[in-house]
């Protein structure tokens, strides 16, 4: 799912994940309201990388941190080079790398809009 940027009254940008097309115009914060910031999204957010920049850390296809060594071994046993963070999230170098890694694990991204090969 995409990451959306929201900027509060102090100018701080907050990132939130929503399904494509379901991001609200504003989000409620503890003591403030943040408004959707399209410019920040196109410039690249704090963690998202923005504008389709690679590599990406994929939280959606990650595993529990305790399972990170198991996922690393899975990729290594299949001679597939894929970094896995200590939190258990795979790091994909480009769209093709992501597609191959997901396929290898038997996963399918239904929101990929036909980019799967």
Beta-carbon neighbour count of residue 47 at 10 Å? 11
Q: Give the pLDDT score at 112.
A: 61
Q: Give the pLDDT score at 32.
A: 92
Nearby residues of 1 by Cβ (< 8 Å), 6 or more positions away? 17, 18, 19, 20, 60, 111
Reduce the DSSP state of residue 67 to 3 states and report it.
helix
Beta strand segments in the chain, E: 3-7, 13-17, 26-28, 33-36, 56-57, 83-84, 90-92
Say whether pLDDT at 103 is over 60: yes
Mean pLDDT of the chain: 84
pLDDT digits (tens, 9 = 90+) for 37-83: 888 777 644 444 444 577 888 988 999 999 999 999 999 999 999 99
Instruction: For the full predicted model, state whether its pTM sits above 0.75.
Output: no
What is the rounded average pLDDT of the residues 4-8? 90
Domains of the chain, by residue range, sit at 3-43, 56-104
């Amino acid at each position: 799912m995409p990451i959306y940027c929201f900027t509060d009254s102090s100018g701080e940008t907050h990132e939130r994940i929503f399904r494509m097309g379901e991001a609200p115009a504003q989000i409620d914060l503890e003591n403030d309201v943040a408004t959707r910031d399209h410019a920040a999204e196109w410039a690249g957010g704090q963690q998202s990388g923005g504008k389709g920049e690679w590599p990406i850390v994929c939280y959606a296809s990650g595993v529990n941190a305790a399972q990170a060594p198991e996922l690393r071994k899975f990729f290594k046993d299949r001679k597939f080079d894929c970094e896995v963070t200590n939190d258990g999230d795979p790091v994909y170098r480009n769209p093709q790398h992501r597609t191959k890694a997901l396929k290898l694990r038997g996963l399918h991204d239904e929101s990929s809009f036909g980019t799967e090969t």
